[in-house]
């Protein structure tokens, strides 16, 4: 009989084959709507897509395009990047469920009984397969978009930190932390979703290393949020912005050639990292050494963005924003062309613009130095028409009517804070998250824009033919939702720490994203693919739901009655 370890590994790879086969059989043969055609084109010739780019996805897409027999099949093979990475996501989901399941069942490593093996493997299979066929993830897995590959990095990093807990050697455990940092660095070249897993990873690290206290948990979460901020602000746009300041100073003030400031900054950064590593080794500073190595590997992964600068300087046919210099590259990274959305304080959509001030200069490359081509504008709105936690903020003319519709306001009524919260709960949380959540675990009405979710008793009788015959019309009779809720309570009852980790992953990739994205009242398309991380976490609970039923049935059969 196979040992649990071997059986678990074999099952994971079989699940990868099954999921990849499903996605390969249903993959888009050419380009699908929205950004996919762009990603296929820019991957094929390594061109520059819309900000902030996805250079690692483009590199992988270029490699897969080599498998195309002719130009007509290039799109198919670039789509296969999502197919393979999504299949791998399912594999790591399975292994994550079984690792967490061991804590739930209080299993000692290497001493798994036959009953425990069946429960662990069975729950892992069901949870992984539920996610495999979930509406949103399946859709992303079959087209040339970044979300399948982004999900792979999220799944790998989450699995890796669970695996790290079982590494006995301190040096070996530190290597796993550095591997996690490297994968996070690589994920920056695809999508930033992976970074929101840091608080969940921080909790795992804290629970493993320290005695649990309320203060300790709060401090861990604060440190984790600071780390997210350091990477999203200090590393991703921060280092290029600092390099840009060096560039302008050395070129404009010292008269040195273009690129000199960037080179000097790179030398200083590399030298600082090397000295720090040397100092930490010589003085036996293990924590400092691990932290610096982690930062170094994040930067190595992030270096995929050099592709954007290199290819833009070759002026390919698709060269959006033309980020040839470090100055224009910073604007490209910050997505400045799309504007910004207020998060903590801002105006209502009815606010009056009272002032516009001149902001930071916009530089462009001149003959022998950088010249100011324009200035950014900073809008100031009437403070009496502003609020904390602004949700209904957009002053675009076409958004006002939609805000009023969701809030139930008349044409001349001004919104208050209660209306602001109503929009948040009804539209942003309800329509733009819970509706998508229900699509995946309860049922979906259709693929028509703004389609709702289906209750178990809803059939096709009395439904318009357009809906009744819609191929996206699915009714799961709430079974996945019920399994997930069972697993939710089962994990909470048997492993509070593991529950906190999964719950944190669900909240950060779901509700926290809703708050951060602060969606306007209309979108060009459905945005369910944004929240697949939350659906991933719920699939873990679906696996535990199976485990809960198995335990209940076993106890019922053993005792001949209801378990105590």
Same domain, 148 and 113: yes
Lowest mean pLDDT among 112-116, 294-298, 536-540, 552-556: 552-556
Same domain, 113 and 199: yes
The total number of structural domains that make up the chain: 2
Q: Is the peptide bond before 396 cis (omega within 30 degrees of 0)?
A: no
291: tokens are: 């932290």
Domain contains 402: no
- Percent of the chain whose predicted confidence (pLDDT) is above 70: 99
Same domain, 180 and 45: yes
Q: Which residues pair with 361 in a beta bridge?
A: 375
Contact assessment for residue 70 and residue 76, using Cβ atoms and an 8 Å cutoff = no
Q: Domain of 186?
A: 4-237+478-559
Segment 266-275, tens digit of pLDDT: 999 999 999 9
Q: End of a domain among 302, 333, 364? A: 333
52: left (phi over 0), alpha (psi -120 to 50) or beta: alpha
Q: Which residue has tokens 């069946």?
A: 118
What sign results for the dihedral spanned by CA atoms 409, 412, 414, 420? positive
Rounded to whole angstroms, how far apart are CA atoms 303 and 281?
Answer: 25
Q: End of a domain among 333, 360, 389? A: 333
Domain contains 390: no
Element (H, E) at 365: strand 353-365
Rounded to whole angstroms, how far apart are CA atoms 95 and 160?
Answer: 10
**Tally of CA atoms within 13 A in the half-sphere of 263 that contains its CB:** 7
Domain contains 430: no
Segment 450-496, tens digit of pLDDT: 999 998 888 777 788 888 888 899 999 999 999 999 999 999 999 99
Same domain, 261 and 221: no
Please give the average per-residue pLDDT across 70-89, as a whole number: 97
Q: Which residue has tokens 């662990």?
A: 120
* Per-residue model confidence (pLDDT) at position 406: 95
Lowest mean pLDDT among 1-15, 131-145, 302-316: 1-15
Q: What's the pLDDT band for 562 if we cut at 50, 70, 90?
A: low
Domain contains 426: no
Domain contains 325: yes
Q: Which residues pair with 353 in a beta bridge?
A: 381
Residue 334: pLDDT over 80: yes
* Per-residue model confidence (pLDDT) at position 564: 46
Q: End of a domain among 333, 365, 398? A: 333
Q: Which residue has tokens 């602000």?
A: 233
Contact assessment for residue 327 and residue 370, using Cβ atoms and an 8 Å cutoff = yes
Query: Three-state SS across 101-170?
Result: HHHHCCCCCCCCCHHHHHHHHHHHHHHHHHHHCCHHHHHHCCCCCCHHHHHHHHHHHHHHHHHHCCCCCH
Segment 392-403, tens digit of pLDDT: 999 988 899 999
């Amino acid at each position: 009989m196979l040992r649990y370890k071997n059986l678990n590994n074999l099952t994971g790879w079989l699940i990868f084959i099954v999921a990849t086969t499903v996605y390969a059989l249903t993959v888009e043969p050419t380009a699908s709507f929205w950004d996919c055609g762009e990603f296929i084109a820019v991957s094929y010739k390594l061109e520059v897509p819309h900000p902030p780019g996805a250079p690692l996805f483009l590199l992988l897409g270029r490699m897969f395009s080599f498998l195309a027999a002719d130009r007509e099949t290039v799109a198919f093979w670039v789509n296969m990047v999502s197919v393979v990475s999504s299949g791998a996501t399912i594999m790591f989901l399975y292994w994550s469920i079984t690792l967490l399941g061991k804590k739930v069942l209080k299993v000692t490593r290497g001493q798994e009984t036959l009953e425990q093996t069946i429960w662990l493997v069975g729950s892992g299979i069901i949870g992984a397969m539920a996610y495999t066929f979930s509406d949103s993830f399946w859709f992303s897995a079959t087209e040339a978009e970044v979300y399948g590959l982004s999900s792979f990095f999220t799944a790998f990093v989450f699995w890796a930190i669970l695996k790290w807990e079982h590494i006995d050697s301190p040096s070996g455990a530190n290597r796993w932390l550095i591997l996690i940092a490297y994968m996070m660095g690589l994920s920056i070249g695809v999508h930033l979703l992976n970074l929101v897993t840091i608080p969940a990873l921080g909790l795992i690290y804290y629970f493993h290393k320290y005695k649990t206290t309320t203060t300790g948990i709060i401090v861990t979460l604060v440190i984790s949020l600071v780390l997210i901020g350091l990477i999203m602000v200090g590393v991703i746009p921060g280092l290029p912005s600092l390099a840009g300041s060096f560039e302008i100073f050395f070129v404009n003030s010292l008269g040195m050639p273009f690129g000199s400031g960037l080179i000097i900054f790179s030398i200083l950064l590399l030298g600082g990292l090397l000295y720090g590593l040397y100092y930490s080794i010589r003085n036996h500073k293990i924590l400092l050494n691990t932290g610096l190595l982690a930062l170094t590997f994040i930067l190595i992964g992030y270096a995929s963005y050099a592709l954007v600068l290199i290819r833009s300087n070759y002026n390919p046919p698709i060269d959006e924003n033309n980020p040839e210099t470090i100055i224009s590259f910073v604007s490209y990274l910050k997505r400045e062309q799309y504007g910004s959305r207020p998060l903590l304080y801002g105006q209502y959509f009815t606010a009056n613009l009272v002032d516009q001030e001149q902001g930071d200069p916009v530089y462009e490359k001149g003959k022998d130095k950088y010249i100011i081509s324009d200035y950014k504008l900073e809008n100031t709105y009437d403070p009496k028409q502003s609020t904390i936690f602004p949700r209904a903020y957009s002053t675009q003319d076409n958004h006002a009517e939609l805000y009023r519709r969701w809030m139930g306001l008349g044409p001349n009524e001004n919104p208050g804070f209660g209306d602001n919260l109503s929009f948040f709960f009804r539209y942003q949380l309800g329509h733009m998250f819970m509706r998508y959540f229900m699509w995946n675990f309860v049922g979906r009405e259709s693929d028509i824009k703004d389609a709702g979710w289906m209750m178990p008793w809803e059939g096709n009788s009395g439904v318009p033919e357009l809906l009744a015959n819609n191929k996206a019309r699915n009714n799961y009779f709430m079974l996945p939702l019920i399994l997930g809720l069972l697993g939710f309570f089962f994990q909470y009852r048997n492993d509070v720490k593991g529950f906190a980790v999964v719950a944190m992953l669900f909240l950060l990739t779901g509700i926290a994203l809703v708050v951060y994205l602060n969606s306007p009242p209309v979108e060009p398309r459905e945005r369910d693919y944004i929240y697949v991380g939350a659906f991933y976490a719920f699939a873990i609970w679906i696996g535990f739901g199976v485990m809960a039923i198995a335990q209940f049935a076993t106890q019922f059969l053993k005792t001949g009655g209801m378990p105590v």
